[in-house]
A = this chain, B = another copy of it.
Amino acid sequence: MEEFFMKEALKEAQKAYCRKEVPIGAVVVYKNKIIGRGYNLREKKKSALMHAEIVAISKACKKLKSWRLEDCELYVTLEPCPMCAGAIIQSRIKKVFFGAFDAKAGCAGSTFDLFEKGKFNHDVEVTGGVLQEDCAALLKTFFKELRKFDKS
């Protein structure tokens, strides 16, 4: 099940890739159904807020007509940054599954652990490394292409 939904998040990341955005994708799942999808749109929307998780959470809130996503899970291809980890806590998401680890900005342990139990008024269960290689490979290809383009 974890892999099924991570593959859906990867499909979203692929959409970002095709639009020349850093390829990160996310889905929000409620009762085994996807209720919010999102991919990174920072360049297109000219807003640093437009990360995959934020887009997916925003759509899920609209779908459930609530800011509380208490019985939801979020799948994202990269370890959440501070903003997205915070948005997950704020929207009371129950479980998070992420793919690749982000040593530079990941906030599920890599730089800070914002999901540390008891730190905020809502605890989130976190599982990292789901389809890690596929998630990392897409990012690696993207940045390799970008460097090639920069040199040409």
Contacts and interface: CB of A to CB of B under 8 A. Distances in A.
A19 interface: no
Interface stretch (A8-16, A26-34, A88-96): A88-96
B49 A58 contact: yes
Per assembly, the copies of the chain total 2
A31 to B, nearest CB: 19
Interface string A68-107: 1100000000000111111101111000000000001101
A54 interface: yes
Interface residues of A, number: 39
A48 B67 CA distance: 5
Interface of A: 42-43, 45-51, 54, 57-58, 61-62, 65-69, 81-87, 89-92, 104-105, 107, 111-112, 114, 119-121
Closest 6 A/B residue pairs (Cβ) = A83-B86, A82-B86, A48-B91, A48-B90, A48-B67, A47-B61
